[in-house]
Amino acid sequence: MEYDEKLALFRQTRLNPFDRGEEEDGPQGGKTPPQHARSEVFSGTRTHHSDRTMDLGLAEDHFSRPVGSFVASDIEQLKLAIEECKKLILELPEHSERQKDNVVKLIHLRLKLQELKDPEEDEPNLRILLEHRFSKEKSKSVKQTCDKCSAIIWGLIQTWYTCTGCYYRCHSKCMNLITKPCVRSKVSHQSEYELSICPEIGLDRQDYRCAECRAQISLRGVPSEARQCDYTGQYYCSTCHWNDTAVIPARVIHNWEFEPRKVCRSSMRYLALMMSRPVLKLKEINPLLFNFVEELVEIRKLRQDILLMKPYFITCKEAMEARLLLQLQDRQHFVENDDMYSLQDLIDISTGRLSCSLTEIHTTFAKHIKLDCERCQAKGFVCELCKEGDILFPFDSHTSVCHDCSAVFHRDCYYDNSTTCPRCARMTERKQDEEEPDVKES
């Protein structure tokens, strides 16, 4: 069996490595490992047995006591055994079978030590703390990291929780030490971005302390390294800042720059939760951006056309049954306005993904109105200026729309004839005719 297979087998079965082999009755009804398992585990010789491939015994009998009666000496002896095992691994030849066996022993020893430090208890499935809604995890993955203590979460033997709002993960033992409120509450109450690029204030203004947990920090790394968050501009300790990266909204809006920058843990969660929220009004924040980014102009035109198509769909039975507007359910703001953007929208615009998907939806919508549905076709317009017979729609690229009455004309006709809109003229004349009888009667 290869080394990786041994490790995988251990993770799946959770076998106690110290219970292998036959057992003998010990004092007080306990179990004592067999005599051949008590040989020195770190000696230079290996003991071979026909009924097992690897000896996982210990030099000392740490586990002869019943469950629940462990004392401090057990932990101390385990620590000594771990140190001896580490020394032996360094002394043995690289990639040798004996070294691999001892690596597996070291893993077992460390897991057992962790189990003694964190005895398994009955924990509630849901806990609420500082607006976090912590849900007990059932996953046995060992690849998670505790957001409080920065230590690995050993899902095999430890109880851990995840906040369903901001996905904050922590050990059960770390729950009462949490001081960070749930980021989702901030998103609910304050849905806006910091729009200044890395607004640094300096370590002196922070009193040389972490902006979050207030631990002492410095640029020299004594007592703890100061790490800057590119989103907030503040400095954090290594516990609150893990060098995670994220796209910074301010750099996107002002520089059209999408390179991920290092941010602290709380900023990373906040940006992740805000990613799909349409809170950026580009024409107010940076209107010049449309002059330099052609893709933005294209997307704005597609969105304006979709808003012009919306009245056709909400009054069309076939369109409602086909649920055409649900094609934009992931970007609901696209059928509500044409000037609000989310950070995810801007990222997708830069990669070209949004242009492709929105063009396809635009084509589907236009096909329904102009070709597939007779009811929608009947709501088209005929240009009253040139009297030609083709049917026009407000979202056609070669048309212009009167801002007062929404009548549709050929673009060339509407601009070449510098007269008022015929439809507006008729409506004005009709209104005057209705007012004249009232004046005569008075």
The pLDDT assigned to 428 comes to 85
Contacts (Cβ under 8 Å, ≥6 apart) of 361: 306, 327, 328
Asked whether residue 106 falls in the same domain as residue 172, the answer is no
Asked whether residue 311 falls in the same domain as residue 389, the answer is no
Give the 3-state secondary structure percentages of the chain, helix then strand then coil, rounded to 5. Answer: 45, 10, 45
99-125 pLDDT, tens per residue? 888 888 888 888 777 766 655 555 678
Asked whether residue 373 falls in the same domain as residue 293, the answer is yes
In whole angstroms, what is the distance from residue 257 CA to residue 280 CA?
16
In whole angstroms, what is the distance from residue 112 CA to residue 206 CA?
42
The pLDDT assigned to 217 comes to 92
Burial class from Cβ neighbours inside 10 Å (0-12, 13-18, 19+) for residue 318 reads middle
The pLDDT assigned to 78 comes to 84
Give the residue ranges of the chain where pLDDT is below 70.
1-73, 115-123, 139-142, 389, 415-419, 437-442
Domain assignment present for residue 240? The answer is yes
In whole angstroms, what is the distance from residue 163 CA to residue 12 CA?
26
In whole angstroms, what is the distance from residue 278 CA to residue 212 CA?
28
Domain assignment present for residue 72? The answer is no
Per residue in 47-61, is it b (16+ CB within 10 Å) or e — as a string? eeeeeeebbbbbbbb
Asked whether residue 298 falls in the same domain as residue 366, the answer is yes
- Residue where one domain finishes, among candidates 275, 304, 327: 275
Domain assignment present for residue 238? The answer is yes
Domain assignment present for residue 398? The answer is yes
Contacts (Cβ under 8 Å, ≥6 apart) of 371: 377
Residue pair 337/328 in contact by the 8 Å Cβ criterion: no
Domain assignment present for residue 207? The answer is yes
Contacts (Cβ under 8 Å, ≥6 apart) of 410: 383, 385, 386, 388, 392, 398, 399, 400
The pLDDT assigned to 226 comes to 93
Asked whether residue 354 falls in the same domain as residue 290, the answer is yes
| CATH code of the domain covering residue 177 | 3.30.60.20
Burial class from Cβ neighbours inside 10 Å (0-12, 13-18, 19+) for residue 307 reads middle
The alpha carbon dihedral of 24, 27, 29, 31 has a sign of negative
Q: What is the Cα gyration radius of the chain?
A: 35
Domain assignment present for residue 54? The answer is no
Q: What are phi and psi of 231, to 5 degrees?
A: -85, -50
| CATH code of the domain covering residue 238 | 3.30.40.10
- Residue where one domain finishes, among candidates 183, 207, 229: 183
**pTM given for the model:** 0.64
The pLDDT assigned to 368 comes to 94
Q: Which residue do the tokens 């109450």 mark?
A: 189
> Could you please report the per-residue DSSP string of 344-394?
HHHHHHHHTHHHHHHHHHHHHHHHIIIII-HHHHTT-B--TTT-----B-T
In whole angstroms, what is the distance from residue 320 CA to residue 39 CA?
78
| Alpha-carbon distances of 284 from 251, 252, 338, 414, rounded to whole Å | 16, 15, 13, 30
Domain assignment present for residue 202? The answer is yes
Asked whether residue 306 falls in the same domain as residue 348, the answer is yes
- Chain centre to alpha carbon of residue 80: 42
Domain assignment present for residue 135? The answer is yes
Structural domain of 424: 380-431
Name the amino acid, one letter, at 34: P
- Residue where one domain finishes, among candidates 73, 97, 117: 117
The pLDDT assigned to 116 comes to 66
User: 365: closest CA among 376, 355, 381?
Assistant: 376
Asked whether residue 367 falls in the same domain as residue 384, the answer is no
Residue pair 191/223 in contact by the 8 Å Cβ criterion: no
The pLDDT assigned to 339 comes to 92
In whole angstroms, what is the distance from residue 300 CA to residue 279 CA?
16
ω into 260 cis (within 30 of 0): no
For residue 392, list its beta bridge partners.
381
Asked whether residue 337 falls in the same domain as residue 355, the answer is yes
Asked whether residue 365 falls in the same domain as residue 319, the answer is yes
Asked whether residue 385 falls in the same domain as residue 373, the answer is no
> Could you please report the per-residue DSSP string of 170-216?
EEGGGGGG--PPPHHHHHHH------SSS----TTTTTTB-TTT--B
Q: How many domains does the chain have?
A: 5
Asked whether residue 289 falls in the same domain as residue 373, the answer is yes
Asked whether residue 372 falls in the same domain as residue 419, the answer is no
